[in-house]
């Protein structure tokens, strides 16, 4: 089969890495790809948001399946355009992708169908948002309604911080049109986990559990990012908790989308807070998480491409996935300054030495090749992944590889996996 993967991050490198191992894959192309992906797939210089360019490429090259990695082209309707051309695509339509494209839509859907989530308000005027905050007090969470690359959620400890968040999003326009509306919700207390499932209509096949680390610095301090590391499995997601998340959150959500005329196909990612009252949904993403995708695919024993095809074709009920018993963990290395302003172009050395360690895999994200060298070309630049018998084993191996990467302009958290190790 001829396969096209859309995207350029660590998630897409992991998807290409998994698909390339499939005996079904004859040709693999990624658009636009990155320096690491170019070693295992052809790269086409078309941006992931260039819907016309991607559809034209898929039509010309007659791909058997297009796997859409990032959320922006999904929300923009790439899958709709591909399906209209008779091209098979993995991912939801634009109407189903609104589950991530608008946090307000997601919260309203949960309210209509009794899906457990935090109490909230939805505002398109700064003064009304501030009045709500003043009445409800803090701590409280302020979210940009639209897509903000994982940075549009602000946990505010007091009223002044919450007012500043409103100004940052709605008046200063930090996230552009994504911040024209804000969602303000109660702060849920507990432990967060990432829950993934392949979905086709009302067919649901859960994947392995994972846990992300959003804040930039050790100890969960600093601003939220797109994710600084992840591991799988997440010990807090027991078999009983899995059943609770499925029955209370995932299955009611996909059933609601069918009822609303927005049937879902693809991977559904529920960000869940495990509270004293059980699991409650924080957010839905309509694609694999990044970096959670990397440890998930490192642990997947079954053929990834077969699973993606079964999802698209509505054959999930026929599929049983196998997973390695090993744990997997990925440490994200980012450019100094991220998630704020950062410089591009710094040279990264030592990648071959780090990648030569047994059970270590380097996933590239914001990288490109210049003058024969790998250079940083983004905020999150590398994901150093490792598999081990336990999360502690995987952590030790990953940081051993991190320490072989020669990149003074980069940084990483040194505590990825701390929640699991503390249990």
278-285, strands of its sheet edge to edge: 203-206, 191-200, 265-275, 278-285
Which of 28, 15, 7 lies closest to 71, judged by CA?
Answer: 7
Q: What is the pLDDT of residues 74-116, one digit of tens each?
A: 999 999 999 999 999 999 999 999 999 999 999 999 999 999 9
Express as a percent the part of the chain with pLDDT over 90. 96
pLDDT for residue 415 is more than 80: yes
pLDDT tens per residue across span 212-263: 999 999 999 998 899 999 999 999 999 999 999 999 999 999 999 999 999 9
The pTM of this model reads 0.95
Give tens-digit pLDDT for 47-64. 999 999 999 999 999 999
Of all residues in the chain, what percent carry a pLDDT higher than 70?
100
In this model, does residue 149 exceed pLDDT 90? no
Closest by alpha carbon to 256, among 244, 264, 246?
A: 264
How confident is the model over 172-200, as a mean pLDDT? 94
Q: What CATH number belongs to 2-93?
A: 3.40.50.20
CATH class of 191-318: alpha beta
Walk across the sheet containing 89-90 and list its strands: 42-43, 27-32, 2-7, 65-68, 89-90
Assess whether pLDDT exceeds 80 at residue 280: yes
* CATH number for the segment(s) 327-421: 3.90.600.10
Q: What is the CATH number of domain 125-180?
A: 3.30.1490.20
Contact (Cβ atoms closer than 8 angstroms) between residue 158 and residue 139: yes
Residue spans of the domains in the chain: they are: 2-93, 125-180, 191-318, 327-421
Q: Does the pLDDT value for residue 150 go beyond 80?
A: no
Same fold, 125-180 and 191-318: no
- Asked whether the predicted pLDDT for residue 148 surpasses 90, the reply is no
């Amino acid at each position: 089969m001829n396969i096209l993967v859309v995207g350029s991050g660590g998630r897409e490198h992991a998807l290409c890495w998994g698909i390339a191992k499939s005996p079904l894959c004859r040709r693999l192309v990624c658009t636009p790809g990155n320096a690491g992906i170019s070693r295992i797939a052809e790269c086409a210089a078309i941006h992931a948001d260039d819907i016309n360019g991607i559809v034209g490429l898929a039509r010309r090259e007659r791909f058997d399946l297009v796997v859409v990695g990032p959320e922006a082209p999904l929300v923009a309707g790439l899958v709709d355009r591909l399906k209209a051309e008779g091209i098979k695509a993995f991912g939801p339509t634009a109407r189903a992708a609104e589950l991530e494209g608008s946090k307000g839509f997601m919260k309203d859907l949960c309210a209509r169908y009794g899906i457990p989530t935090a109490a909230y308000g939805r505002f398109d005027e700064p003064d009304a948002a501030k009045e709500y905050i003043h009445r409800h007090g803090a701590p409280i969470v302020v979210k940009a309604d639209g897509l903000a690359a994982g940075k549009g959620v602000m946990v505010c400890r007091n009223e002044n911080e919450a007012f500043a968040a409103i100004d940052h999003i709605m008046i200063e326009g930090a996230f552009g049109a994504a911040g024209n509306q804000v969602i303000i919700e109660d702060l849920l207390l507990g432990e967060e986990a990432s829950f993934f499932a392949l979905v086709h209509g009302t067919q649901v096949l859960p994947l392995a559990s994972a846990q992300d680390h959003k804040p930039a610095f050790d100890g969960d301090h600093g601003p939220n990012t797109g994710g600084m590391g992840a591991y799988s499995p997440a010990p807090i997601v027991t078999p009983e908790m899995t059943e609770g998340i499925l029955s209370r959150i995932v299955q009611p959500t996909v059933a609601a989308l069918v009822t609303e005329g927005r049937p879902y196909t693809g991977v559904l990612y529920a960000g869940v807070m495990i509270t004293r009252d059980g699991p409650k949904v924080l957010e839905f993403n309509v694609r694999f998480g990044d970096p959670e995708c990397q440890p998930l695919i490192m642990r997947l024993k079954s053929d990834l491409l077969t699973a993606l095809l079964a999802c698209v074709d509505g054959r999930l009920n026929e599929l049983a996935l196998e997973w390695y018993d090993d744990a997997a963990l990925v440490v994200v290395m980012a450019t100094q300054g991220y998630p704020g302003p950062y410089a591009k172009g710094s040279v990264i050395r030592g990648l071959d030495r780090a990648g030569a360690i047994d059970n270590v895999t380097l996933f590239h994200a914001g990288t490109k090749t210049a003058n024969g060298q790998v250079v940083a070309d983004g905020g999150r630049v590398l994901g150093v992944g490792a598999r081990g018998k336990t999360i502690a084993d995987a952590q030790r191996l990953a940081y051993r590889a991190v320490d072989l990467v020669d990149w003074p302009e980069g940084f990483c958290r040194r505590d990825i996996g701390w929640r699991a190790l503390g249990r």
